[in-house]
Amino acid sequence: MTTAESKPLNLDHTLLHHEVIAQNPDAPWLVFVHGAGGSIRTWKFQIDAFAPHYRLLLIDLRDHGNSKDILPAFPAYDFDIVAKDILVLLDHLGIRKAHFMSLSIGSVILQKIDIERPELVDRMIMAGAIFDGSKMMHWFVHSGKVLSFILPYQALYWLFSFIVLPRRNHRLSRYIFRRQSKRLSTREYLKWIELYKPFFALIKDYVNRPVLKKGLVVMGSQDHIFFGAAKRFTDIQKNMRLAVIENCGHVCSIEAPEIFNELVLRFLKDEEVPHSVVAKPVPMRWSELKALQKA
């Protein structure tokens, strides 16, 4: 049976809230790093697929999910703070080496971890990864900062979820993204948006450095903001390979979970990973989304 060690409430405020799911105590570790506004629940479609093969560590980043009031407190965040939160937890659990799976801006956090502690990272899987320091990305990030002075942050999440995930078959991803973001308070959101300051310097650092371990970047073909940069990154990094899920958007791990999980499992088992796989787009009805509220 799968065993899960979790804290329903984050009672130790020096550690991120987390869940450990392990069927085999000797299996390799697989650590999940969600994106901004997400939580452990981001990975609900991956747990059953990976639990038979790996010990899973699912983490709520600072202020997300049940990771509330993490100490020490800071007036604003940078990637050093966010990465250190994860490293402190891994050291507490005695994890010395692990595979890592990230989503969206979690890929930036993962690269920061690899820069700080390269011996800790075995293989990297990055879904909807961000490698972009272009003018468009500058506009996207800075507009979020400017609009934060004008709009409530929930309105910003609603707006940007449509910009990043505009199609009908992205509806489930938009729904989960918005639902999870409601756990963030305005004060917490304003701390996280300060990540825009070190974002481009860190992007430049890790895009231009040679990545020495194997990595898989899984992108949806409809990820119109981030796909091009991911293609350029994997073209110049000999240890990185790109797998494209056709008919999917930014959050391909949610839109086509069975295909995504199969690609990742093949990669981790050193099997051939196809460059492109076609998913059937499934536009969800609102009634189906409402049913998820009870799940």
pLDDT 10s digits, 111-133: 999 999 999 999 999 999 998 76
Higher pLDDT, 136 or 24: 24
| Structure-token match 């004060």, residue found | 187
Residues 6+ positions from 170 with CB-CB distance below 8 Å: 222, 249, 250, 251, 255
What pLDDT band is residue 236 in, cutting at 50, 70 and 90? very high
Query: What is the residue extent of each domain of the chain?
Result: 3-292
pLDDT of 12 reads 74
pLDDT of residue 46 exceeding 80? yes
| Mean per-residue pLDDT over the chain, rounded | 87
Share of the chain above pLDDT 70, in %: 87
Q: Report the topology of domain 3-292.
A: Rossmann fold (3.40.50)
pLDDT 10s digits, 185-234: 888 988 888 888 888 888 888 888 999 999 999 999 999 889 999 999 99
Provide the whole-model pTM: 0.89
What pLDDT band is residue 6 in, cutting at 50, 70 and 90? very low
pLDDT of residue 45 exceeding 60? yes
What pLDDT band is residue 280 in, cutting at 50, 70 and 90? confident
Residue 278 bridge partners (DSSP): 246
Share of the chain above pLDDT 90, in %: 62
Highest mean pLDDT of the ranges 11-20, 56-65, 138-147, 198-207: 56-65
Contacts 24+ apart (CB under 8 A), 229-234: 229/130, 229/131, 229/132, 229/133, 229/134, 229/137, 230/129, 230/131, 232/131, 233/129, 233/131, 233/207
Q: Quick one: CA dihedral 189, 192, 197, 201, positive or negative?
A: negative
Higher pLDDT, 73 or 208: 73
